[in-house]
C-alpha cells in the first residue's frame, strides 16, 4: 500500500487553539490521525473548560464592537475570508481528505461548498432588513428590527469538517454575532486552517474562536459552551444522542438552539420506476463520503416487481464504480470510515442482519484499519438493526416490498 503525505504549507496546519485572535496552547495535546493509514498528522491543543470559558469571554467582549460594525464592514471581511479560502482551496481540500478520509474530488467539492457560505453570507450581511407593520392604533407604528443575539456556540461534526463550520459561522458573523467553534475531535485541522485564514482576512480578535479538544474533554467543554450565561445561542450538527444532551444543558439558561441531528432516510423504488435511474440515484445517495452524510439513504424499500432487476444492476454498478483506498489516490471513490468504531458499527449491523437471515451480495467485511467494504444486503427485514439505526457507512440493505395493500384496499 502506498503512503501519502499531507503536503500542505505549515502555516495552514495549526496545532494550537485560536482564542481572542491569538494562537493558544493548552496543558495537553491530542493526536489527529489519518483514518486511512492510522498515521499521525498532527498533535493539537486539547482544550478544557478553562480554555472554553476564555473563548466565550473573548467572544462576549468582541461582540460589543463587532455588532457596531456597519453591514458593509462585516460584508467586506467575510468576502476577504471567502477569497482566501478559494485561493487555498487545494490545500484546504488536502486537509479535509487527510483528517476525515474522503476522496480528494469530494473534499474539493466540500471546500467550494464551504467557501460558498462565506460568499453568500458576505452578500446577505448587507440585507438584514427590518419591517414596518400596520398597527392597531392610529398613532403608532410597529417597527421590526433584526439584531444579533450575542455569542453563538457552534459544535460541528467530522463528516464535513469545513462546510459545517462556515455554514453556521457565516450566518452568525454576518448578523453581528461572535462565535466559539468546537470542531469534532477527529477533524480539528480544517477548523484551525479556517482560523488562520480568518486571521489573515482581518476578522477582529475574539469574533471567531476555535477550541479543539479530545473525545475525553468534549463533555466538559460542551457543558461550558452550552451553559455559560454569556452564550446566547447554540448551533449543533451531530448525533441525536448528543443533541439531547446539549438541549438539556441549554435549557437552564433558555438559550436559542438549532439542532441538526441524525436520520433514517428511506429510499423507495416502486414497480413503475426506471430501474437504471433508481440505481444511479441509489449509488449517489448511499456511497457519497463512504455513506457518512446525514442525508445518505439508510434503508432501501424495493417493490417486488423491480426488486431482482434493481439488485442485479446495483451490484454491477458497485463493482464498476466503487474503489476503496486512500482519499489522495486518484480514482478512489470510497475512503476509510472516520475511525475504527465507525467500521465496527457497520460490521455489527451486517452480522445482526445475517444472523436474522439477510444475504450478503457484495462486501460485508472490514478492511484494514477503519476501511469497510461497500456492502449490499438482500432479504432484509424491518427487524434488523440496519433498518432501525442510522448506519453512517457503506451498507446498502434492500427490503423486498410487496404491493401497497393498504393503499389498494382503502376505499
Ligand atoms: P458522531 O457520533 O457522528 O461523532 P457526535 O454527536 O458524537 O456524532 O459528534 C458531533 C459533535 O458533537 C462533535 O464535535 C463531538 O465532539 C461533539 N460532542 C459529542 N459529545 C458531546 C458532548 N457531550 N458535549 C458537547 N459536544 C459533544
**Could you tell me the residue ranges of all domains in the chain?**
10-260, 266-406
The answer to whether residues 158 and 184 touch, using CB atoms and an 8 Å cutoff, is yes
Mutate to test the pocket of ligand 1, among 186, 238, 341, 370 (most ligand atoms within 8 A of CB): 238
- Rounded CA-CA distance 192/313 in Å is 43
pLDDT(35) > 50: yes
How far is ligand 1, taken at its centre, from the CA of residue 168, in Å? 16
Any idea how long the chain is? 411
Query: Known catalytic residue: 260?
Result: yes
- Rounded CA-CA distance 325/365 in Å is 15
CATH superfamily of 266-406: Aldehyde Dehydrogenase; Chain A, domain 2 (3.40.309.10)
- Check pocket membership of 293 for ligand 1, CB cut-off 6 A: no
- Check pocket membership of 200 for ligand 1, CB cut-off 6 A: no
- In this prediction, residue 403 carries a pLDDT of 79
Print the SS3 string covering the chain.
Answer: CCCCCCCCCHHHCCCCEEECCEEECCCCEEEEECCCCCCEEEEEECCCHHHHHHHHHHHHHHHHHHCCCCHHHHHHHHHHHHHHHHHCHHHHHHHHHHHHCCCHHHHHHHHHHHHHHHHHHHHHHHHCCCEEECCCCCCCCEEECCCCCCEEEEECCCCCCCHHHHHHHHHHHHHCCEEEEECCCCCHHHHHHHHHHHHHHCCCCCCEEECCCCCCCHHHHHHHHHHCCCEEEEEEECCHHHHHHHHHHHHCCCCEEEEECCCCCEEEECCCCCHHHHHHHHHHHHHHHHHCCCCCCCEEEEEHHHHHHHHHHHHHHHHHHCCECCCCCCCCCECCCCCHHHHHHHHHHHHHHHHCCCEEEECCCECCCCCECCEEEECCCCCCHHHHCCCCCCEEEEEEECCCHHHHHCC
From the list 260, 329, 344, 389, the catalytic residue is 260
- Rounded CA-CA distance 359/397 in Å is 10
- In this prediction, residue 405 carries a pLDDT of 59
- Which ligand 1 atom sits closest to the C-alpha of 245? 23
- Check pocket membership of 157 for ligand 1, CB cut-off 6 A: yes
Q: Sorting pLDDT into bands at 50, 70 and 90, what band is 411?
A: very low
- In this prediction, residue 406 carries a pLDDT of 52
For residue range 105-133, what is the model confidence (pLDDT) as tens digits?
999 999 999 999 999 999 999 999 999 99
- Check pocket membership of 229 for ligand 1, CB cut-off 6 A: no
- In this prediction, residue 1 carries a pLDDT of 64
Phi, psi angles (nearest 5°) of residue 41: -95, -45
Q: Round to the nearest angstrom and report the end-to-end CA distance of the chain.
A: 62
CATH of domain 10-260: 3.40.605.10
- Check pocket membership of 218 for ligand 1, CB cut-off 6 A: yes
Mutate to test the pocket of ligand 1, among 32, 155, 188, 190 (most ligand atoms within 8 A of CB): 155
Q: Sorting pLDDT into bands at 50, 70 and 90, what band is 362?
A: very high
- What residue has cell string 452550552? 226
Phi, psi angles (nearest 5°) of residue 360: -90, 115
- Check pocket membership of 297 for ligand 1, CB cut-off 6 A: no
Q: Is 259 left (phi over 0), alpha (psi -120 to 50) or beta?
A: beta
Q: How crowded is residue 22: how many other Cβ atoms within 10 Å of its Cβ?
A: 13
Across the chain, mean pLDDT equals: 96
- In this prediction, residue 402 carries a pLDDT of 87
- In this prediction, residue 2 carries a pLDDT of 78
- The burial class, CB within 10 Å (0-12 / 13-18 / 19+), for 202 is exposed
- In this prediction, residue 410 carries a pLDDT of 45
How far is ligand 1, taken at its centre, from the CA of residue 3, in Å? 30
- Please enumerate in sequence order all residues whose Cβ is within 8 A of that of 274, keeping only pairs 6 or more positions apart, or say none: none
Sign, CA torsion 308/311/313/315: negative
Q: What is the mean pLDDT of residues 72-94?
A: 98
pLDDT(408) > 90: no
Q: What percent of the chain stands above pLDDT 90?
A: 96
Q: What is the mean pLDDT of residues 212-227?
A: 98
- In this prediction, residue 278 carries a pLDDT of 98
Mutate to test the pocket of ligand 1, among 218, 249, 390 (most ligand atoms within 8 A of CB): 218
For residue range 372-389, what is the model confidence (pLDDT) as tens digits?
999 999 999 999 999 999
- Check pocket membership of 357 for ligand 1, CB cut-off 6 A: no
For residue range 232-285, what is the model confidence (pLDDT) as tens digits?
999 999 999 999 999 999 999 999 999 999 889 999 999 999 999 999 999 999
pLDDT(370) > 70: yes
pLDDT(409) > 60: no
For residue range 281-335, what is the model confidence (pLDDT) as tens digits?
999 999 999 999 989 999 999 999 999 999 999 999 999 999 999 999 999 999 9
How far is ligand 1, taken at its centre, from the CA of residue 239, in Å? 7
- In this prediction, residue 293 carries a pLDDT of 94
- Check pocket membership of 213 for ligand 1, CB cut-off 6 A: no
For residue range 129-187, what is the model confidence (pLDDT) as tens digits?
999 999 999 999 999 999 999 999 999 999 999 999 999 999 999 999 999 999 999 99
- In this prediction, residue 235 carries a pLDDT of 98
Amino acid at each position: 500500500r502506498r503512503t501519502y503525505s499531507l503536503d500542505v504549507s505549515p502555516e495552514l496546519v495549526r496545532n494550537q487553539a485560536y482564542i481572542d485572535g491569538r494562537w493558544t496552547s493548552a496543558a495537553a495535546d491530542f493526536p489527529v490521525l489519518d483514518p486511512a493509514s492510522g498515521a499521525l498528522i498532527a498533535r493539537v491543543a486539547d482544550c478544557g473548560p478553562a480554555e472554553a470559558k476564555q473563548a466565550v469571554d473573548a467572544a462576549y467582549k468582541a461582540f460589543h464592537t463587532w455588532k457596531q460594525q456597519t453591514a458593509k464592514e462585516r460584508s467586506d471581511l467575510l468576502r476577504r475570508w471567502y477569497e482566501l479560502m478559494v485561493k487555498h482551496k487545494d490545500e484546504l481540500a488536502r486537509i479535509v481528505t487527510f483528517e476525515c478520509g474522503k476522496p480528494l474530488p469530494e473534499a474539493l467539492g466540500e471546500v467550494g461548498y464551504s467557501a460558498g457560505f462565506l460568499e453568500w453570507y458576505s452578500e446577505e450581511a448587507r440585507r438584514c432588513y427590518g419591517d414596518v407593520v400596520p398597527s392597531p392604533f392610529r398613532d403608532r407604528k410597529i417597527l421590526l428590527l433584526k439584531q444579533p443575539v450575542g455569542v453563538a456556540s457552534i459544535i460541528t461534526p467530522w463528516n464535513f469538517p469545513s462546510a459545517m463550520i462556515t455554514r453556521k459561522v457565516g450566518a452568525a458573523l454576518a448578523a453581528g454575532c461572535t462565535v466559539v467553534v468546537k470542531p469534532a475531535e477527529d477533524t480539528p485541522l480544517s477548523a484551525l486552517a479556517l482560523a488562520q485564514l480568518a486571521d489573515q482576512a482581518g476578522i477582529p480578535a475574539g469574533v471567531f474562536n476555535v477550541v479543539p479538544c479530545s473525545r475525553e474533554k468534549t463533555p466538559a467543554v460542551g457543558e461550558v459552551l452550552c451553559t455559560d450565561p454569556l452564550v446566547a445561542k447554540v448551533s449543533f450538527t451531530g448525533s441525536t444522542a448528543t443533541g439531547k444532551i446539549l438541549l438539556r444543558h441549554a435549557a437552564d439558561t433558555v438559550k436559542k438552539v438549532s439542532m441538526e441531528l441524525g436520520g433514517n432516510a428511506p429510499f423507495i423504488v416502486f414497480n413503475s420506476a426506471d430501474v437504471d435511474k433508481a440505481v444511479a440515484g441509489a449509488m449517489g445517495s448511499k456511497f457519497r463520503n463512504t455513506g457518512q452524510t446525514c442525508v445518505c439513504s439508510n434503508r432501501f424499500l424495493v417493490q417486488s416487481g423491480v426488486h431482482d432487476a434493481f439488485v442485479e444492476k446495483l451490484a454491477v454498478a458497485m463493482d464498476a464504480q466503487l474503489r476503496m483506498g486512500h482519499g489522495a489516490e486518484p480514482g478512489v471513490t470510497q475512503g476509510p470510515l472516520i475511525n475504527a468504531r465507525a467500521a465496527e458499527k457497520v460490521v455489527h449491523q451486517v452480522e445482526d442482519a445475517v444472523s436474522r437471515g439477510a444475504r450478503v451480495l457484495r462486501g460485508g467485511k472490514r478492511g484494514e484499519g477503519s476501511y469497510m467494504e461497500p456492502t449490499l444486503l438482500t432479504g432484509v427485514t424491518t427487524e434488523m438493526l440496519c433498518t432501525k439505526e442510522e448506519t453512517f457507512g457503506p451498507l446498502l440493505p434492500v427490503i423486498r416490498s410487496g404491493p401497497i395493500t393498504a393503499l389498494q384496499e382503502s376505499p
